[in-house]
């Protein structure tokens, strides 16, 4: 079976990614949320356009109460996936969680809030990989899995082209402001440094999965509201997008990732352009 793990599936971009995978691929989707499973399940069933018991509903499992500041929820979630789907089942681990405290001056730094940024934006992604990367197929397992697709009636990879059939994908939502090379203005200390540290984690030389740090542009979700305001409108020429536009860009980039020089891991923006670390 081919599984996508969407950590942070309750957020603007996580919800859109999970519902796209339910609507347009045959992947089994494990949607992880910090909040209550029932609430997210209802949202995802209605967003993905089918009721439980029909195609996409049957492929959805929502695991609630997974706060990535704590390890035990992630450990339990990975155990559930392993028991239900087997140990070489995971094709995509997407870490979507993130928080922003936009400090403008050193005097605005609060230790507890800054620590939370690191626990969620950096170490939460690292712990998610700690528990789910062992469920990613080796290259040999993936080749065996591919044989089972060929034996299928549809003869097709359940990922439907969203992930290359030749690799699995570790995908973390980073941000251009985490680029040290690109930092012209300073400020936003905890967010910038937590994303820069996340990027370091994403430098990965594993042979079984490709790891990508991704900058989505400004996407109009609760996350960006505190910076652009709640009545901001999409403005694509200036890099500001609706959630729908954001998820289309994200999928466009995911689909291009290949095990080659150009795409075999790194930091990319919504246009598929490399961002300097
Ligand atoms: N939106 C933008 O313009 C923009 C720009 C650059 C980068 N990004 C990055 O994109 C990612 C997704 O952001 P978004 O726009 O979709 O924001 P969002 O709607 O605010 O979603 C944030 C997600 O983080 C999760 N989260 C927060 N604390 C958590 C915790 N302790 N444990 C588990 N999950 C937790 C939230 O889950 P709960 O609801 O369950 O708490 C929610 O699913 C973030 O990493 C962000 O840094 C966003």
53: pLDDT strictly greater than 50? no
Nearest CA to 63 out of 117, 121, 131 is that of 131
pTM above 0.85, yes or no: yes
DSSP state of 70: S
Question: pLDDT over 90 for what percent of the chain?
Answer: 82
CATH of the domain at 222: 3.40.50.720
Q: Look at the block and give the residue holding tokens 């399940």.
A: 41
Ligand 1 centroid distance, CA of 134 (Å): 24
Q: What is the pLDDT, as a whole number, of residue 259?
A: 86
Q: What's the distance, Cα to Cα, between the start and end of the chain in Å?
A: 35
Say whether 215 sits in a helix, a strand or coil: strand
Task: Answer yes or no: are the C-beta atoms of 245 and 12 closer than 8 Å.
Answer: no
Query: Structural domain tally of the chain?
Result: 1
User: Could you read off the pLDDT of 108-151 as tens digits, one per residue?
Assistant: 999 999 999 999 999 999 999 999 999 999 989 998 888 888 77
Any domain includes 83: yes
Q: What is the pLDDT, as a whole number, of residue 70?
A: 97
Any domain includes 67: yes
Any domain includes 275: no
Ranges of H-type helices in the chain: 12-24, 37-47, 55-58, 71-85, 111-117, 124-132, 139-151, 189-202, 222-228, 243-256
33: pLDDT strictly greater than 60? yes
5-25 burial code (b ≥16 CB/10 A, e <16): bbbbbbbbbbbbbbbbbbeeb
User: Could you read off the pLDDT of 176-223 as tens digits, one per residue?
Assistant: 999 999 998 999 999 999 999 999 999 976 778 999 999 999 999 999
Nearest CA to 29 out of 50, 52, 56 is that of 56
Any domain includes 274: no
Mean pLDDT score across all residues of the chain? 93
Supply the residue whose CA is at minimum distance from atom 20 of ligand 1: 223
3-state helix, strand, coil in the chain (%, to 5): 45, 15, 40
Any domain includes 162: yes
Mutate to test the pocket of ligand 1, among 9, 32, 96 (most ligand atoms within 8 A of CB): 96
Structure tokens at 138: 């080796």
Structure tokens at 114: 């800054």
User: Could you read off the pLDDT of 216-237 as tens digits, one per residue?
Assistant: 999 999 999 989 999 999 999 9
Supply the residue whose CA is at minimum distance from atom 32 of ligand 1: 67
Supply the residue whose CA is at minimum distance from atom 44 of ligand 1: 98
Q: Is the CB of 134 under 6 A from ligand 1?
A: no
Cα 40 to chain centroid distance, Å, stands at 16
Any domain includes 276: no
Ligand 1 centroid distance, CA of 148 (Å): 35
Any domain includes 55: yes
The whole domain housing 12 covers 3-269
Any domain includes 201: yes
Say whether 52 sits in a helix, a strand or coil: strand
């Amino acid at each position: 079976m081919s599984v996508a793990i969407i950590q942070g599936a309750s957020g603007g971009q996580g919800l859109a990614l999970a519902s796209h995978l339910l609507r347009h691929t045959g992947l089994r989707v494990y949607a992880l949320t910090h909040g209550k499973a029932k609430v997210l399940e209802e949202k995802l069933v209605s967003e993905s356009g089918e009721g439980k018991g029909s195609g996409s509903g049957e492929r959805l499992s929502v695991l609630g109460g997974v706060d990535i500041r704590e390890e035990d929820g992630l450990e339990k979630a990975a155990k559930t996936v392993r028991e239900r789907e087997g140990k070489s089942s995971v094709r995509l681990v997407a870490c979507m969680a993130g928080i922003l405290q936009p400090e403008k001056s050193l005097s605005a730094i609060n230790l507890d809030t800054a620590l939370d940024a690191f626990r969620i934006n950096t170490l939460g992604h690292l712990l998610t990989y700690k528990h789910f990367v062992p469920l990613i197929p080796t290259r040999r397992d993936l080749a065996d899995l591919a044989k089972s697709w060929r034996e299928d009636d549809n003869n097709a990879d359940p990922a439907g082209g969203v992930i290359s059939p030749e690799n699995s994908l570790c995908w973390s939502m980073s941000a251009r402001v985490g680029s040290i090379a690109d930092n012209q203005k300073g400020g936003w200390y905890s967010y910038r440094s937590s994303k820069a540290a996340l990027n370091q984690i994403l430098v990965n030389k594993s042979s079984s999965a490709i790891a990508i740090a991704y900058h989505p542009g400004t996407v109009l979700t609760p996350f960006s509201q505190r910076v652009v305001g709640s009545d901001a409108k999409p403005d694509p020429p200036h890099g500001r997008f609706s959630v729908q536009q954001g998820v289309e860009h994200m999928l466009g980039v995911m689909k291009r990732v290949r095990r080659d020089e150009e795409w075999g891991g790194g930091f990319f923006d919504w246009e598929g352009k490399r961002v300097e670390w």
